[in-house]
Each structure stands twice: as C-alpha cells, then as structure tokens.
Amino acid sequence: MPVLPSPAAASSERPLRRSAAWLATLFLALVCVSLLMVEGWSSYTARKTYLNDATTSTVNMARALSDHAEASLDLADTILAGLVERYDHGELRDDPQRLQAVLASTVSRTKSLQGMFLFDADGRYLLNSLAQPLTDIDVADRAYFLYHRDHADKQAHIGSAVRSRSSGVWVIPVSRRLNHADGSFAGVALATVRIAYFRTFYESFAVGAHGTIFLASDRGQLILRRPFNEHDIGADISGEPIFRLWQQKGETGSAILTANFDHVERLYTYRHLRNYPLLIAVALSKDEVLAPWRASALAGGAGTLALLAVLVALGMRMIGQLIERDRLQRELRDAKTALEDNNAALQLLALSDGLTGLANRRHFDQRLDSEFKRAMRERTPIAMVMVDVDYFKKFNDHHGHVEGDAALQMVAKAVMAGQRRPGDVAARYGGEEFAILLPDTDLAGALAVAEQVRLAIAAAAFAHGASPFRILTVSAGVHAFVPQRGQSVRALVEAADRGLYQAKAEGRNGVCAEPVELA
C-alpha cells in the first residue's frame, strides 16, 4: 500500500512549486514583453523619425515659401517706392508718356507683377502700365484706397486678394499713399502681384495628394491655397487651428492639426512674414507621411509574433523546473525596497525643516557653498536675502507658541514664493530667521525678491497685537556680488546680515542692502 505524504508536507511543497512555476512564467513573460517592447520602441522610433523628417521638410518648405513671398513683395514695394518718388518729383506732370513707358517696361520685365497704377484722390486712373488708357474705371471703393485715404503714413500696405478690374485676374495689391505738397491725400500708387505667380511656385513643391500650402492675411482671409480652387480666395479661415497656433506660439511653429477646412489631419509648419501681415503654411498629410512606416511596422510585427510563438512553445517546457531561490529573492527585494524608503525618508528629514517645509540650515549651507564656488568659477553674481520676523518674541509672549508656529508657516509660504528659478533655495535659517539664496542674480534682482516677500507678508495682515504695526511684518537684508578669489561664503552671509540689522535699525518692516563691493 503506497505511503501518502502528510498534509503538512504537501502544503509545504505546493508553495514551493507555485513559486518556481511563477518565476519561470515571469521570466518567459519578461522575455516576451522585452521583445514586444524592443519591437514597439523600434516602431515608435521609426514613426518619430518619419514625422521628424516630415517636420524638417515642412520647415524647409515654409522657409523657402516665406522667403519667396518676402522677396516678391519686397520687389513690388521697391518698384512702387521708386514710382512714388518719381511722382513726388513731378515726372507725372512733366513727362507722363515717359513715365508710362517706364511702368510698362518694368511690368513686362517682372514676372510677378500684373500691373502698376497711379490713382488720384477720387480713385480715377492717372497713369497705368497698360497699353490702353482706363477712363471708365475707378477704385474709390477698394479697401486699399480707403486705407490710404484714412491713414497718413506712406508705408507699403498689403491688401486682401482682389480680382483686377483692368485685367480680370486675381492679384495681391501692394500700395502706397500719394500726398500733395501740403501733406494732404493726393491718391494711391498701386502694384498688383499675380496670385498665379505664387500658384505656379507652390505647385513646384511635392506635398502629396492630400498636402496643402496656403497664404493668408493676419486677419485670416485666404489669399491662395494649394490645391487651388478659385472659390477659396477670400474665405475666412481665422477659426482654423493653425491660426490659433500662430497666436499662441508666435512667428513660426509646427504641429499636427486637423483642419476644419477639409477635416484632414496634417503636419503643419507655418511662418509669418517678417515685414508683411501675411501668414504662410505648408502641411503634409499625416497618413501619407506614415504610409511607408505602417508597411514596415506590419512586416516587423509579423516577424516578432512568429518569434514569440516559438519562445512561448519552448518556455512552456521550462515551467516545470522548480527554483528554490524565489523566497529569498523576494525577501531581498522587500528588504531593499524598505531600505531605500527609509533612506529617502531620512534624507528628507535631514534636508528639510519639519515646521515650515523649507530647506533646513544644513541643506542651505551645502547649496550655498556649491553655488558660491560655481559663481566664483564662472564669474557670475550671487545674492542672498536674510529675512527676520519683527517682534517675534513679543508675538509668542502675546499670542502663544501655537500661533507663533502658524505665523512662521505663513512667512515660510511667502519666502518659498521668492524662489523664482530651479537654482534658488529658500530655507529656515534659524528660529524666526529665513534665508533665500539667489544664484546668478544681481543686487537689483535680489532687492525685488526681498521686497516681494515683505509685501506678501504684510498683505496677509496676520494679526500681531504686540507690534506697533498691529500686523506681522518682516525685515530683510540683501547683498549680492561676483565672488573673487580669496573671498569666502561668510562674506556674503555677513553682508546680508548687516543689511538685515540696518533694516531693523531703520524701524523694521523694510528691506536694506549692503552696498556692493566693486572689484
């Protein structure tokens, strides 16, 4: 008759077998997860590379497009400025035929220009670059004409896209004001830039089937968009995400956005022209950019899954191996975790003040020493603010120590707000005294921090019945200098302390600075 194991023996073996099986399963799972993570990271990195390359491409295209637009408008404005100067010197009056010939020659040699015109104060044609005169057309209702009539400046004005009344083509008006000798409005000089010129240039860029390029005014009025549709000209796109991005980020930027215009998700890069109120943007379809990556990711994923299937089949045969070390390793991990937690707690206690939560004196002295050496090495200024609560002993005697602790906590919050940058350190220096270390800060900056702390504490209006101010106040001493060889940290501390005593001597609730020593 077989001998059965005792229940106690069986129960002791089951945890052992479960532990070994768990470890083997975990190992296999870790291998599988690692492979998946490697494949996932590789796929993610490849995806990021595709997007970064696309971003670089759109940035370069946006720069080229904006430079082209700037150059085109600069050329039109330069020619226009010359025309205004000729007008001011009386060439229209003295030799209009010659001036008309100059305009016609200039336009014929400038591919971007559709025409050049002079209008009188009533919007009637004075002169144009066309062969035939225009007598039955006026532009008094045009936005650019109304702008110059109502604005005295003679700077170039870029108007919204309009259909030319002389040729019927879409143009961008570039205009300047004409003045009489007394400065009154005499009319408008106009150069019209062909939108077709920009369209031809935009179509030379490879942006894919669903990519886009557009040029719009600051007000969100569309001038030109690729793919081109004449009905899009003048459309209001101020509500598009790209305009909100420009308003948030400034002159240039990139982001993945979904356009309200056609609901296509694209990688956009925009640039605002330096000298003109125009915004240009180029965008590539995210789907098109990532199409090669998707094919590569699918192939790589299929290979990884096949490899995982083989590993799982082999790993299942290892599950039966019992590993006795499981319990010891688990205990070792637990002990290590507990030790790390204890060390972290001890380190926190060693470097912070228990009442206020600020750095304690030990932490402050360590940072002061290291920052002082750095300032001496890099020849940068370092500043220190010493803050002391006014009449604090009387406060404790009058209100009690519990209220005294609350007062110190309130002051600590204001002192902590004096930390402007990651390198700044606010600390409880001792008792009712606090300190703020301000690396790379001059005396003016340190004084501003100290005054902000003093005002914040005064604004809290914390009652102090034993103070002549009737509220809790502080005095502060400030010093800042560029440390020189041979100087010690003590020089900075003592100088700030002297400033504090001076503030106390001058009646408290104030900020005083020890004068900076010049090297």
223 and 172 in contact (C-beta within 8 Å)?
yes
pLDDT at 506 over 80: yes
Query: Beta partners for 512?
Result: 477
456 secondary structure, DSSP code: H
pLDDT at 491 over 80: yes
* pLDDT tens digits for range 79-129: 999 989 988 888 888 788 888 888 889 999 999 999 999 999 999 988 888
Q: Is residue 344 part of a domain?
A: no
Mean pLDDT in residue range 31-51: 88
CA-to-CA separations, 177 to 56, 163, 316, in angstroms, rounded: 41, 21, 86
* CATH number of 220's domain: 3.30.450.20
Q: Is residue 55 part of a domain?
A: yes
313 plus 391 within the same structural domain: no
293 plus 405 within the same structural domain: no
**Distance of alpha carbon 365 from alpha carbon 436, whole angstroms:** 11
Q: Is residue 99 part of a domain?
A: yes
* CATH number of 407's domain: 3.30.70.270
pLDDT at 319: 64
458 plus 313 within the same structural domain: no
Apex CA 310: angle with CA 304 and CA 315, to 5°? 120
**Distance of alpha carbon 170 from alpha carbon 167, whole angstroms:** 9
Q: How many domains does the chain have?
A: 2
pLDDT band of 135, cuts 50, 70, 90: low
Apex CA 235: angle with CA 110 and CA 227, to 5°? 65
Residue 116: both structure tokens together: 């050049």
Q: Is residue 9 part of a domain?
A: no
144 plus 249 within the same structural domain: yes
Distance of CA 343 to the CA centre of its chain: 38
Q: Is residue 347 part of a domain?
A: no
Quote the mean pLDDT of the chain: 86
For 292-441, strand residue ranges (E) read 382-389, 425-430, 433-439
pLDDT at 347: 63
274 secondary structure, DSSP code: S
pLDDT at 36 over 60: yes
440 plus 311 within the same structural domain: no
pLDDT band of 270, cuts 50, 70, 90: very high
454 and 386 in contact (C-beta within 8 Å)?
no
CA-to-CA separations, 158 to 145, 173, 174, 192, in angstroms, rounded: 11, 6, 5, 10
Give the domain-ending residue among 270, 296, 320. Answer: 320
pLDDT at 321 over 60: no
Give the domain-ending residue among 260, 293, 320. Answer: 320
Distance of CA 430 to the CA centre of its chain: 40
116 plus 207 within the same structural domain: yes
Higher-confidence residue: 315 or 328?
315
Give the domain-ending residue among 255, 289, 320. Answer: 320
290 plus 154 within the same structural domain: yes
pLDDT at 134: 64
Mean pLDDT in residue range 198-219: 92
Give residue 274's domain range: 14-320
pLDDT band of 349, cuts 50, 70, 90: low
End-to-end Cα distance, the chain: 102
371 plus 492 within the same structural domain: yes
pLDDT at 504: 93
Q: Is residue 233 part of a domain?
A: yes
Torsion region of 383: left, alpha or beta (phi above 0 gives left; psi -120 to 50 gives alpha): beta
**Distance of alpha carbon 40 from alpha carbon 32, whole angstroms:** 12
**Distance of alpha carbon 376 from alpha carbon 455, whole angstroms:** 32
Sign of CA pseudo-dihedral 96, 100, 105, 110: positive
* pLDDT tens digits for range 403-444: 999 999 999 999 998 887 888 999 999 889 999 999 999 999
Of 402, 362, 406, 368, the C-alpha closest to 384 is 368
pLDDT at 14 over 60: no
Q: Is residue 332 part of a domain?
A: no
37 plus 172 within the same structural domain: yes
Q: Count H helices and E strands in the chain, helices first.
A: 13, 16
353 and 432 in contact (C-beta within 8 Å)?
no
Mean pLDDT in residue range 210-229: 91
**Distance of alpha carbon 361 from alpha carbon 366, whole angstroms:** 9
Torsion angles phi and psi, residue 436, rounded to 5: -130, 125
Mean pLDDT in residue range 367-395: 94
Of 475, 471, 479, 481, the C-alpha closest to 502 is 475
Torsion angles phi and psi, residue 358, rounded to 5: -75, 170
65 and 278 in contact (C-beta within 8 Å)?
no
Q: Is residue 5 part of a domain?
A: no
Torsion angles phi and psi, residue 157, rounded to 5: -125, 130
